[in-house]
């Protein structure tokens, strides 16, 4: 018998998923008033409900709007630092590895817009396609999440890990994604036309593979719903941090904490590395609990170098003001 590493969280996720699916099917079956069908796009109220831990500004679709400055600074955060911080907060199912990456050196950071795909069933697929078109949606359903993207978004899709006939985008849709979001994609599925995708400067793909086939026997069942990406869960508005080591989905309410803690560790490490190279301290002194002498040296070093460090001066000043080490 296989035992889940996150049974309680998965039970909660399954409950939310069932509730959303029931609400979707009820809306499709009843439709409120005739002629007003709704696709499986989670309503603003539902998005706010599943992301209720976030107390800040929100996007028009209800997703948490983590500030642009936090997203910009998140690019300097290592996956290990982010993982450790959110794990200490009890979030143990947020990382997934094992990706095929278009560009190893291009990180993807932004707010998640989620999409869920399932194996196609003709009767339900027709219903979903018809309701989407009745809402004015154009083209194949795998382009509908793209139409909703905003600057700073990352399109994150549960494509069931399907590679052959699971290609969610090619270079045409890739160009549209980058034009709308300025960002890349995270697909638990596959893509095609990687030569064309590779020519989009600044764009990156984290996927399960590449294949020349086109998408078949799949249907879009949800947008801005909680989704599973391998062993991780992603909620709409989570901050995506994707680097060559893998992808981590950071709960919006923890994004600022992750950035500030990671920046503090980065500064401490840079100081320690410099002093070790200079031979001023031993490894044991730097790796262990700092003495009062080292602490004073560190804060003096921050004062002297705050204009030349890869951390905003305001963040460095906050550390100097607190002097918690």
User: What digits encode the pLDDT tens for the residues 261-320?
Assistant: 999 988 999 999 999 999 999 999 999 899 999 999 999 999 999 888 888 888 888 888
Q: Per DSSP, which regions of 120-217 are E strands? A: 153-158, 167-169, 185-188, 190-191, 205-207, 209-210
Answer for the pair 94, 248: CB distance below 8 angstroms, yes or no.
Answer: yes
Q: What percentage of the chain has pLDDT greater than the value 70?
A: 86
Residue the block writes with tokens 């086109």 = 214
Return the structure tokens found at 246. Answer: 């893998």
Q: How confident is the model at residue 40 (pLDDT cuts 50, 70, 90)?
A: low
Answer for the pair 95, 76: CB distance below 8 angstroms, yes or no.
Answer: no
Return the structure tokens found at 58. Answer: 């929100």
Question: Mean pLDDT in the chain?
Answer: 88
Return the structure tokens found at 81. Answer: 């630092």
Answer for the pair 102, 204: CB distance below 8 angstroms, yes or no.
Answer: yes
Mean pLDDT of 105-131: 95
Answer for the pair 154, 185: CB distance below 8 angstroms, yes or no.
Answer: yes
| Between residues 105 and 34, the one the model is more confident about | 105
Q: How confident is the model at residue 6 (pLDDT cuts 50, 70, 90)?
A: low
Residue 305 to residue 313: CA distance in whole angstroms: 10
The confidence score (pLDDT) of residue 30 equals 35
Q: How confident is the model at residue 39 (pLDDT cuts 50, 70, 90)?
A: low
Exposure of 314 in the CB half-sphere (CA atoms within 13 A):
4
Least confident of 61-70, 77-86, 172-181, 305-314: 305-314
Least confident of 9-13, 43-47, 250-254: 9-13
The confidence score (pLDDT) of residue 319 equals 83
Residue the block writes with tokens 């002097």 = 323
Residue 19 to residue 26: CA distance in whole angstroms: 10
Answer for the pair 203, 184: CB distance below 8 angstroms, yes or no.
Answer: yes
Residues whose CB falls within 8 Å of the CB of residue 29, separated by 6 or more in sequence, listed in order: none
As to burial, measured by CB atoms within 10 angstroms (0-12 exposed, 13-18 middle, 19+ buried), residue 204 is buried
The confidence score (pLDDT) of residue 324 equals 64
Mean pLDDT of 14-39: 42
The confidence score (pLDDT) of residue 325 equals 60
The confidence score (pLDDT) of residue 185 equals 98
Helix axes 7-30, 122-134, angle to 10 degrees: 70
Question: May I ask the CATH architecture of the domain 7-250?
Answer: 3-Layer(bba) Sandwich (3.50)
Residue 139 to residue 121: CA distance in whole angstroms: 19
Region at 290 (left for phi over 0; alpha for psi -120 to 50; beta for the rest): beta
Residues whose CB falls within 8 Å of the CB of residue 148, separated by 6 or more in sequence, listed in order: 41, 61, 113, 223, 224
The confidence score (pLDDT) of residue 41 equals 66
Residue 192 to residue 171: CA distance in whole angstroms: 7
Which of 13-22, 33-42, 242-251, 260-269 holds the top average pLDDT? 242-251
The confidence score (pLDDT) of residue 56 equals 96
Least confident of 16-25, 223-232, 296-305: 16-25
Q: Where are the chain's structural domains?
A: 7-250, 257-322
């Amino acid at each position: 018998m296989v035992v889940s590493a996150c049974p309680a969280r998965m039970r909660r996720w399954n409950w939310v998923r069932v509730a959303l699916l029931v609400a979707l099917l009820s809306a499709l079956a009843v439709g409120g008033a005739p002629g007003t069908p709704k696709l499986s796009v989670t309503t603003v109220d539902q998005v706010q409900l599943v992301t209720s831990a976030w107390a800040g500004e929100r996007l028009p679709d209800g997703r948490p709007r983590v500030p642009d400055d936090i997203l910009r600074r998140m690019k300097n955060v290592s996956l290990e630092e982010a993982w450790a911080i959110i794990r200490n907060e009890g979030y143990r199912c947020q990382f997934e590895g094992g990706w095929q990456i278009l560009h190893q050196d291009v990180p993807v950071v932004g707010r998640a817009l989620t999409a869920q795909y399932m194996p196609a069933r003709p009767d339900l697929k027709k219903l979903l396609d018809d309701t989407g078109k009745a809402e004015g949606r154009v083209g194949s359903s795998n382009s509908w999440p793209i139409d909703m993207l905003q600057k700073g978004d990352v399109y994150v899709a549960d494509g069931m890990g399907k590679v052959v006939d699971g290609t969610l985008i090619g270079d045409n849709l890739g160009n549209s994604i980058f034009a709308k979001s300025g960002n890349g994609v995270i697909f638990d599925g596959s893509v095609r036309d990687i030569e064309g995708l590779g020519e989009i400067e600044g764009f990156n793909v984290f996927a399960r593979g590449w294949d020349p086939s086109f998408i078949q026997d799949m249907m879009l069942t949800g947008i801005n719903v909680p989704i599973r990406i391998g062993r991780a869960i992603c909620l709409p508005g989570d901050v995506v941090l994707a680097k060559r080591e893998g992808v981590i989905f950071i709960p919006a309410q923890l994004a600022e904490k992750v950035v500030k803690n990671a920046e503090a560790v980065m500064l401490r490490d840079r100081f320690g590395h410099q002093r070790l190279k200079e031979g001023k301290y031993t490894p044991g002194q730097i790796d262990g609990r700092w003495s009062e002498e080292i602490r004073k040296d560190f804060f003096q070093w921050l004062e002297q170098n705050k204009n030349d460090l890869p951390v905003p001066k305001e963040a460095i000043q906050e550390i100097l003001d607190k002097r918690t080490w």
